[in-house]
Structure formats: C-alpha cells, structure tokens
C-alpha cells in the first residue's frame, strides 16, 4: 500500500507539471518516451479515485478552481488522452495528459457552479 501511495504521489506530481519550455515536436516526443515511462498510459490505467486525484492536481496547478473531482471520463479519441474532469460544484475542465506527464488544462469560465 505504501508503494502505491508513493507511486501515486509521483504520478500526481508529474501530471501537474507545467513546463514553460517549448514542447518537443509530437513525433520526437513519442519516440523518446518508453512505454514504462508513459505517464498518460499510467493515468489511463488508474482507477477512478487515483485518476481524480491526478485531475484535481492538474487543474489546481493550472490555476483553476476546484474543491474536488467527482468524475473523470475519457473523451474523444483515446490516443489523445483527453479527460473531462467534473468538480464537486459541477464545473468541467478538459485535461489532456501528455506521455511525458505534462498536463494541458482548458477550463470554461462561463459555467455556473
């Protein structure tokens, strides 16, 4: 259990990273990330509660407001690793997890909550 918590904490930290460096081209990025280091695949394989923790960390790190994530669901093409994270107040955020652990968060400001 302790290993799971440590691994989850590491993934949460990676998923919430917001690098200001220019991103490498997608085709080069995929070539340099081995399957065992693919954070996006690890997030996709998580259970709902673990994944919700990753989502709230990404949202908060991006400056979004969210008291807690109640649901995270994969949307669109699974290869795009895009998730709809729904917060306790009903607001939704689009969170894309890149293989390197970078999270891109898009939040709508016109939602009631």
Angle made by CA atoms 88, 41, 14, in degrees to the nearest 5:
65
Q: Which residues pair with 82 in a beta bridge?
A: 75, 96
Could you list the residue range(s) of the whole structural domain that residue 76 is in? 2-107
pLDDT at 76 over 80: yes
- Domain count within the chain: 1
Within-domain flag for 112: no
Q: Confidence band (pLDDT; 50, 70, 90) for 87?
A: very high
Summarised one tens digit per residue, pLDDT across range 30-75 is: 457 676 789 999 999 999 999 999 999 999 999 999 999 999 999 9
Within-domain flag for 82: yes
Tell me how far apart the alpha carbons of residues 49 and 57 are, in angstroms, rounded to a whole number.
13
What is the layout of strands, in order, in the sheet containing 92-97? 69-75, 82-87, 92-97, 103-107
Within-domain flag for 40: yes
78 CB contacts (<8 Å, ≥6 apart)?
44
Please report, for the chain, how many H helices and E strands are present, in that order: 4, 4
Within-domain flag for 26: yes
Average pLDDT, the chain: 80
Check residue 113 and report its DSSP letter. Answer: -
Within-domain flag for 43: yes
58-78 core/surface letters (b: 16 or more CB in 10 A; e: else): bbebbebebeebeebeeeeee
Q: pTM for this one? A: 0.67
**Predicted local confidence at residue 73, as pLDDT:** 97
Within-domain flag for 113: no
Within-domain flag for 103: yes
């Amino acid at each position: 259990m302790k290993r799971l918590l440590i691994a989850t904490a590491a993934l949460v930290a990676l998923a919430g990273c917001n690098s200001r460096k220019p991103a490498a081209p997608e085709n080069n990025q995929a070539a340099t990330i081995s399957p065992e280091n693919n954070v996006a695949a690890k997030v996709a394989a998580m259970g709902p509660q673990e994944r919700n923790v990753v989502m709230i960390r990404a949202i908060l790190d991006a400056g979004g407001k969210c008291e807690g994530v109640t649901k995270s669901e994969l949307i669109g093409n699974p290869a795009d690793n895009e998730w709809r994270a729904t917060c306790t107040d009903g607001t939704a955020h689009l969170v894309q997890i890149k293989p390197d652990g970078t999270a891109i968060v898009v939040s709508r400001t016109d939602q009631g909550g």
